[in-house]
Structures are given as C-alpha cells and as structure tokens.
Amino acid sequence: MRVSRLLLVVVCAVPLVAACSVGGVSGPASEGPSSVVRSASASRSGPGPAPSFPATTLSGSPDIRKALDAAAFVTPSGQIVCELLASGARCDYFAQDRAWDAPEPANCDLNWGWSLYVDRTAGTNCVGDTIVTTAALNSGFDTWRKPADPTVDWNGIALAALPYGSALLVDTFRCDSATTGVTCQNQSTGHGFFMSRESYRIF
C-alpha cells in the first residue's frame, strides 16, 4: 500500500514538472558583428531595473518583427530613428521639436542630448554621426519590413517606418513603436529607455 501511494505521487508529479518546463524557450544567440556606435563613454542615469517591459509598452500582443543581426526604422511621425544590432540599440530624436535634453555623458567632445542607447545598461550617447540613413529602404537594415508598411521621406530618401503598435526584435534587444513614443529594452538585463517629443526616461 505504501509503495502504491508513493508510485501514485511520483506518477502525478511528473506531468506537473513537465508542464512547468514549457515556455521560456530562447533561440540561438545571433553571431552578427558590430556594436552600438558611441564615440565616448556614456553615463547611465535614471532608476534601477524596470519590470520585464515598462508600462509604456503596448498592451496585448503587438505585431513583432524580427531581424537576424541588424535593423533600423523611423517612427511614422518621422521624429525618431532607431538602429538595433545584436550588441545593442540606439535611438536618435532627430526632429527639432523635442522638449528635453538628455544629460551630457562624461568626457564628451561631440554631440549629445538627443541620442540614447541600451546594451547591458542604458544611457546618453556621445556621437559624431547620424543613423538616419540606415533606415533607408533597401539599405539591408529593413529586412523586417512588410510591403504595406509606411515610409517617411527625409531629404528625398525613403525611410522604413515601423508602424505604431509594432515591435522590432534583434537578439535580446526590442524596440516598440507607439503613438506615445519609442521604448527599447535589453530583455536580458531589463535596462532600456523611452523617448518621445515631450520626454525621455532611462531605466
């Protein structure tokens, strides 16, 4: 009798363990080259790690696009451009109407205030370049794009826009495009940033 009860407990426990192990499957790590372009060390500001995805993220199941090792997009408004690599993500607010300046990174002799990054942490970029043209159609950074997706004209160049309500994923880096702004996060560390015309946040 004792043996049969023990057997019953073991037999009943096996399906529960199997059920608990479903999900959380992660794909292989991308082996792409590169790094987020930063011309000088950047400082991290803002509060500590955020929840798995910040409150500004879209509710429900957004349209999630994926790229193997590199991608770029602009928002449909044409105000924000982002580049995602297997090693990090960077977004620049390149319109002239933003109401904020991010803090100056330490030892920065270049431009700052409008470019944010996330790799293992997040912070303000010190940059001497632009990433706008990486979002150009047929640049190789638009493999995530669907034929009906919008485009934005920038000085005669058609840029690939990530529709509002969509997310773009490269390796562990995810950026969400929403009417309220763009949120990018390293899903492994929980660090990231949010930017819009009105404000920004680094977490």
Segment (H or E) for 166: strand 166-170
Q: Is the pLDDT of residue 8 over 90?
A: no
Percent of the chain with pLDDT over 90: 67
More confidently predicted of 3 and 160: 160
pLDDT at 203 (0 to 100): 96
Percent of the chain with pLDDT over 70: 70
Q: Is the pLDDT of residue 55 over 80?
A: no
pLDDT at 96 (0 to 100): 87
HEC assignment per residue over 54-98: CCCCCCCCCEEEECCCEEEEECCCCCEEEEEECCEEEEEECCCCC
**112-152 pLDDT, tens per residue?**
999 999 999 999 999 999 899 999 999 999 999 999 999 99
Angstrom distance (rounded) from CA 57 to CA 160: 21
pTM assigned to the model: 0.71
As a whole number, the mean pLDDT across the chain is: 77
**152-195 pLDDT, tens per residue?**
999 999 999 999 999 999 999 999 999 999 999 999 999 999 99
Radius of gyration of the chain (CA): 21
Q: Is the pLDDT of residue 37 over 60?
A: no
pLDDT at 62 (0 to 100): 77
Q: Is the pLDDT of residue 200 over 80?
A: yes
**78-121 pLDDT, tens per residue?**
999 999 999 999 999 988 899 999 999 999 999 999 999 999 99
150: left (phi over 0), alpha (psi -120 to 50) or beta: beta
Domain borders along the chain are 34-202
Question: What's phi and psi for 187, nearest 5 deg?
Answer: -70, -15
State mean pLDDT over 43-53.
35
156: left (phi over 0), alpha (psi -120 to 50) or beta: left
Angstrom distance (rounded) from CA 117 to CA 88: 7
CA-based nearest residue to 110, from 200, 183, 37, 197: 37
More confidently predicted of 51 and 175: 175
Q: Is the pLDDT of residue 57 over 70?
A: no
